[in-house]
Amino acid sequence: MGNSWMLLALLVLLDPAHGTATHFSTSCNSLAKHASAFKSLNTTITNSTFFPAPANNVPAHAPTLCQPTTVITVPLCRIQFIVKTSDISAITAEIWIPTHYTGRSLSLGNGGLAGCIDYDNLAYGSSKGFAAIASNNGHDGQSGAPFLNNSQILADYITRSVHIETLAGKAIVQELVGSQPSRSYYSGCSTGGRQAFYSAFHFPDNFDGIIAGAPGTDWNNLLGAFGLWESFFGATTNNASIIDEAGWALVANEKLKQCDELDGVRDGIITEGEGCDFRPEELQCPEGLGTGSPTTCLSRNQVTALKLLYNPIYGLHGEYLFPSHNVASTNSSTLSTLFNGQIFQPTEDWVKYVVKGPNFNFSEYGVQTIEQMNALNPDNIATFDGDLTPFRKKGGKVIQYHGQADPLIPPAGSKLFYNQQAFNLGLKSFQLDEFYRLFLIAGMTHCTGGLGSTNFGQDGTAIPSNPAASNVLDDIVNWVENGIAPDTIIGASDDGKSLRAHCRYPQRSVLDGTNFVCTTAENT
């Protein structure tokens, strides 16, 4: 009841019909003058501006390194601020507080090497009534060069940024509207998914509900695997095994030929790559026959590279390190771009600027490099073997999702992570489901997009047009505030005409007549 009255008071405060919109805009525009309120948090507000209506082409932070402009979709107060984290490091952040603020905050993560403010989801979160918070993670742009010989900027990237932006953001909300958010949420994908679980492990009181998409957990092995995978295609030696886009189209068609119907229907989607025993040998040219033009078959070197790509990675002493690349990834353009004879940029930068030094010769790259990455593991960036007990005890909830066609982070990694948490906590799946659920999204690539029904409100580019579809932001709020956990995620196709229920792990998606249903292994 107390929260309801507080939210009602906030709505009255911000409702133009009550004559207080002018007060809100005035308070917003003068917020930068309230320096003393944020001194203890080492926070300086650099600008605060009230936008009474939607606006296009709004200048963004770091326009030459990230995006030049952004869009504001609802009336709101845009507050830009800097948090000093050491004598040689600082975080640049923004919080957007809409006039229809609901009393909830939404902190946002980053992607890749994470130096760009997530403006798309600032707009999305604020449009749904959240005070939306995002930062540059302590550096601008996607390069890892700022990490070189600077442990403070590296600490911002790995450990501090989401935590600090959230504390400062909540303090700003309190200064503007009179109280801190009644509920706090987080949403991020990829690096943002890793940040989600890092927050749950190390700062369990920060959030009531967390959405973690395609998390880049097991970070060292993930980046390490990409370096090794690309070495199979000539990135560290020669280009004899590089496959062009036409060749990857051949590979994709063969994958579909062998594995598309494993879920009961031929629809251009491999629902679960791990269930596909893909045999690239079927593509090898007969002896003495080249690959031809157009590509009709693959060379022995190319098939060998594929065999390595689609097998797990093991350490120098035979220990399991990381899953294979995702067999269910079939976009030939994406695959030809990823495996083009060049080292994956995040892997290259991490090795050069954190692990080995800028003069490292990648012809020396191998499993031993991955093991060095694991041994270094600064600030436990691996984010794999943590403890969710405090987050669970405080009543926190987690929705994790992962595209089954993800070409960047294998969905098998999310299963391994989920099972590791079950092991750490000593819980069975039905017990883990009480606070943590993993959903595997058939046909979806990295975070969003792909074939089939892959839109469920996971970010501002994936808002479903079909009202029968799920919205994962609504789902996490409903679970935290009303105790109603999502059994499935209902995804919608881009045109909104097709819906599909995506299952929570370890259930599996199987065809029952004309619809996909979720079933446990013993019922399949």
Q: Which positions are catalytic?
A: 190, 406, 446
β-bridge mates for residue 189, sequence order? 213
The strand pair at 183-189 and 209-213 is best described as: parallel
Assess contact for 404 and 271: CB atoms under 8 A. yes
Backbone phi, psi, residue 266, to 5°: -90, 105
Q: What are the start-end ranges of the H helices in 58-130?
A: 119-127
- Whole-angstrom Cα distance, residue 368 to residue 373? 9
CB count in 10 Å sphere of residue 39: 9
Assess contact for 435 and 397: CB atoms under 8 A. yes
Closest CA to 326 of 377, 383, 269, 366: 269
Q: How many CA atoms lie within 13 A of 156 on its CB side?
A: 28
C-alpha dist (Å) from residue 3 to 6, 8, 10, 105, 120: 5, 9, 10, 14, 29
Using DSSP, state whether 191 is helix, strand or coil: helix
Assess contact for 396 and 210: CB atoms under 8 A. yes
First to last CA, the chain: 45
Assess contact for 91 and 165: CB atoms under 8 A. yes
Report long-range pairs for 258-266 (Cβ below 8 Å, ≥24 apart): 258/282, 259/327, 259/328, 263/442, 263/509, 263/510, 263/511, 263/516, 264/510, 264/511, 265/511
Place of tokens 């918070």: 133
- Whole-angstrom Cα distance, residue 59 to residue 325? 39
Reading the block at residue 428, the tokens are 């069975």
- Whole-angstrom Cα distance, residue 232 to residue 228? 7
CB count in 10 Å sphere of residue 12: 11
